[in-house]
């Protein structure tokens, strides 16, 4: 069974039996539940919902079903068609819509797709709101519009350009300074919507570029998660030819990774750190990332006189904490940059504009810029458990064992030591505990994670532990 219903939306593989995969009947059901939720909470709204999709092979089919269902619920549809996640988020606000649906499975492989749900601010629904949508879907208490109150369908073809202009107009995106540097970059667009919007941005920044995987076909050239092990193609291109920078995005363009001019990974954790360092140098303030992100952001923030705060994993948790502490920038260590000056959503275009501005201002290469930042390494491990294991009790036991350290328990258990940390959190979809650890070197980080895993496994194998 690959159909996963969660507070953040519904996702699954295409095809198969109803209730087991992402299929037309379940798409109709979940879209109807979302429209019912919007109707209940904004009865006097615009009766308008924005829809956008990434380049996935199944995207056209899914969007037709979503659009038809929304029309049947009496909502006007503004269809952006092929559009990045941040473009769709901005489109909700621009069109004064009551909400939006993004059809994307982000970094998941080509057979997957998903519906991600937005509010009227173009931001993801909160956990409580997502739970309400799930409850409505479960109850199937639906009421469709009669023939005189069906919604109207319209296409929007200028949202990519509007998004690019919003980025170019940000005060800290130094357009002229970037143009003067005559940067040469190589871009891996993974055969999705990045191939459509990134050339628009780079053209207007005066950047010379080569686009790899530039057909928006949804037939991904490699595993679409922008990790080093999946990026050998662009790294080889960087080694063979002279570029100033490599730019990699995921299929919906909300995650961003860089490759330095020497062909080495800049580090996805350091996308946010480097951009934050630049932003804080101009607009001092606070920052936020999730608990599983590098400590380097905290160090950089303090260096600029600000305060760092950690949020539970998940974009909506990060944006909520950012608003709470008045953060000037934040995001996630997976290459997600959230810059409120533009909007509260991960946006690779914003990240590219700010990063190129930092290179232009400091007149550094990417590898030189990386050397100015605190240096840490993160190891990622997992503990596989049987479904009967009491994960909550296990995590409580770990928390008690390390009570003399700085412990955070808003999302699993994170233990902060003086010069390293480890974060254990349960998966929402699998009987596993994810174990992320960070230290000065990858060897130290991996050893720390495995030490904590041994402690956890001793509990699992103790009689009466719930295993």
Which of helix, strand or coil describes residue 148? Answer: helix
**For the sheet containing 245-249, what is the strand order?**
208-212, 184-188, 245-249, 256-259
Are 108 and 54 in contact by the 8 Å Cβ rule? The answer is no
d(C-alpha 113, C-alpha 12), whole Å:
6
Q: Give the dihedral sign, CA 308/311/313/319.
A: negative
Closest among 238, 165, 243, 227 to 190, alpha carbons compared: 227
The DSSP-derived string for 205-235 is TT-EEEEES---SS--SS-SS--GGG-HHHH
Q: Residue 134: count other Cβ atoms within 10 Å of its Cβ.
A: 18
106 is catalytic: yes
- CA dist 275 and 294 (Å) reads 14
List of residues 6+ apart from 201 with CB closer than 8 A: 164, 167, 168, 349, 352, 353
The number of angstroms, rounded, from the C-alpha of 390 to the middle of its chain's C-alpha atoms is 29
Give the up-direction half-sphere exposure of residue 287: CA atoms within 13 A in the CB hemisphere: 37
Selecting among 106, 192, 289, 437, the annotated active-site residue is 106
Q: In the beta sheet, which residues pair with residue 258?
A: 247
Please, are residues 89 and 117 in contact by the beta-carbon 8 Å criterion?
Answer: no
Using CA atoms, how far apart are residues 376 and 369, in angstroms rounded to an integer? Answer: 15
Burial of 181: CB neighbours in 10 Å, binned 0-12, 13-18, 19+:
middle
Three-state SS at 23: coil
Let me know how long the chain is: 467
d(CA 429, CA 43): 34
Q: How many CB atoms lie within 10 A of CB 64?
A: 13
Q: How far apart are CA 415 and CA 405, in angstroms?
A: 7
The whole-angstrom separation of Cα 329 and Cα 351 is 11
How many CB atoms sit inside 10 A of residue 403's CB?
9
Distance, in Å, from the CA atom of 249 to the CA atom of 107, rounded to the nearest integer, reads 9
Which residues are catalytically annotated? 106
């Amino acid at each position: 069974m690959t159909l996963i219903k969660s507070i953040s939306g519904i996702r699954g593989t295409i095809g198969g039996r109803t209730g087991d995969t992402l299929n037309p009947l379940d798409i109709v059901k979940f879209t109807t539940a979302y429209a019912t939720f919007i109707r209940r909470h904004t009865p006097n709204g615009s009766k308008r919902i924005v829809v956008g999709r990434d380049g996935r092979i199944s995207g056209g089919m899914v969007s037709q079903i979503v659009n038809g269902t929304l029309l049947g619920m009496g909502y006007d549809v503004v269809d952006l068609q092929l559009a990045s996640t941040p473009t769709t988020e901005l489109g909700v606000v621009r069109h004064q819509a009551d909400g939006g649906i993004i059809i994307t499975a982000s970094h998941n492989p080509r057979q997957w797709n998903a519906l991600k749900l937005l509010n009227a601010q173009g931001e993801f629904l909160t956990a409580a709101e997502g739970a309400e949508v799930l409850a409505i879907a479960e109850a199937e208490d639906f009421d469709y519009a009669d023939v005189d109150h069906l919604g109207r369908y319209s296409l929007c073809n200028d949202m990519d350009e509007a998004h690019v202009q919003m980025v170019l107009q940000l005060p800290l995106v130094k357009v002229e300074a970037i143009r003067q540097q005559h940067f040469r970059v190589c871009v891996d667009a993974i055969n999705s919507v990045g191939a459509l919007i990134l050339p628009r941005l780079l053209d207007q920044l005066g950047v010379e570029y080569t686009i790899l995987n530039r057909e928006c076909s949804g037939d991904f050239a490699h595993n679409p998660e922008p990790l080093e092990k999946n990026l050998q193609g662009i790294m080889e291109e960087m080694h063979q030819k002279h570029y100033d920078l490599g730019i990699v995005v995921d299929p919906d363009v909300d995650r961003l990774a860089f490759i330095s001019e020497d062909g080495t990974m800049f580090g996805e954790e350091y996308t946010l750190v480097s951009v934050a360092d630049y932003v804080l140098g101009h607009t001092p303030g606070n920052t936020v990332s999730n608990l599983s992100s590098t400590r380097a952001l905290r160090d950089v923030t303090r260096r600029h006189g600000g305060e760092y705060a950690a949020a539970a994993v998940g974009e909506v948790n990060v944006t909520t904490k950012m608003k709470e502490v008045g953060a000037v920038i934040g995001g996630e260590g997976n290459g997600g940059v959230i810059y409120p000056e533009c909007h509260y959503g991960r946006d690779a275009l914003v990240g590219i504009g700010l990063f190129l501005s930092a290179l232009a201002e400091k007149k550094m290469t990417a590898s030189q810029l990386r050397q100015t930042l605190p240096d840490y390494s993160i190891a990622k491990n997992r503990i596989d458990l049987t479904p009967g294991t009491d994960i909550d009790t296990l995590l409580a036991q770990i928390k008690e064992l390390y009570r003399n350290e700085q412990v955070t328990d808003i999302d699993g258990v994170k233990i902060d030591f003086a010069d390293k940390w480890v974060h254990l959190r349960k998966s929402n979809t699998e009987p596993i505990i994810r174990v992320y650890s960070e230290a000065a070197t990858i060897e130290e980080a991996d050893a720390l994670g495995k030490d904590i895993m041994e402690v956890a496994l001793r509990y699992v194998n103790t009689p009466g532990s719930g295993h």
